[in-house]
């Protein structure tokens, strides 16, 4: 979904819109995208036994391409971690960051966080005039099209 946001919406912004802090949000599209990647990366690193990295200063990513590359690297990092999991490992208890929860529950949080922040991001993109779309999980399951009534 993050790639779709980039390809279909963020790509439509000019550089000024990309970095513009929107009234009422206190963040720019750039800052929101860096935050999404930061939290995915930090959670996965912690779940894999590493240290929580936290949120980076979005100004470390001065332009669209540096943010895009960071999100690509984060996606590869997450995919690598997920490729090493099996059904049994999803029930292992994660003990870190002050919680003890099954790994699947921590991963659910990562997904929910992404949906929440993409929703805000899509609203911001809409206000900037970029095309937006639904990100409902059911649309993913149904191949991008809602099933017909009774089908």
Give the pLDDT confidence of 111-141 residue by residue, as tens digits: 999 999 999 999 999 999 999 988 877 777 7
Phi/psi-derived region of residue 100, left when phi > 0, alpha when psi is between -120 and 50, beta in every other case:
beta
What are the structural domains of the chain?
2-141 (1.20.120.450)
Asked whether the beta carbons of 17 and 135 are under 8 A apart, the reply is no
Q: Give the pair of three-digit tokens for residue 101.
A: 């929860």
Greatest extent of the chain over all pairs of C-alpha atoms, in Å:
51
Position 69 scores a pLDDT of 97
pLDDT category of residue 149 using cuts at 50, 70 and 90: very low
- pLDDT tens digits, 41-98: 999 999 999 988 878 888 899 999 999 999 999 999 999 999 999 999 999 999 988 8
Burial of 22 (0-12, 13-18, 19+ CB in 10 A): middle
Model pTM score: 0.88
Strands (E), 81-126: 93-96, 99-102
């Amino acid at each position: 979904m993050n790639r779709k946001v980039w390809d279909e919406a963020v790509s439509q912004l000019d550089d000024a819109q990309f970095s513009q802090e929107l009234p009422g949000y206190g963040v720019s599209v750039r800052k929101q995208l860096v935050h999404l990647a930061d939290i995915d990366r930090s959670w996965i690193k912690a779940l894999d036994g590493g240290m929580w990295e936290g949120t980076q200063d979005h100004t470390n990513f001065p332009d669209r391409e540096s943010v895009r590359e960071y999100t690509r690297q984060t996606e590869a990092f997450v995919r690598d971690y997920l490729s090493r999991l099996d059904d049994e490992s999803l029930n292992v208890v994660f003990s870190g960051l002050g919680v003890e929860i099954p790994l699947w529950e921590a991963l659910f949080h990562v997904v929910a966080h992404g949906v929440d922040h993409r929703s805000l991001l899509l609203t911001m993109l809409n206000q900037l005039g970029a095309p937006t779309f639904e990100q409902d999980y059911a649309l993913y399951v149904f191949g991008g099209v809602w099933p017909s009534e009774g089908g």
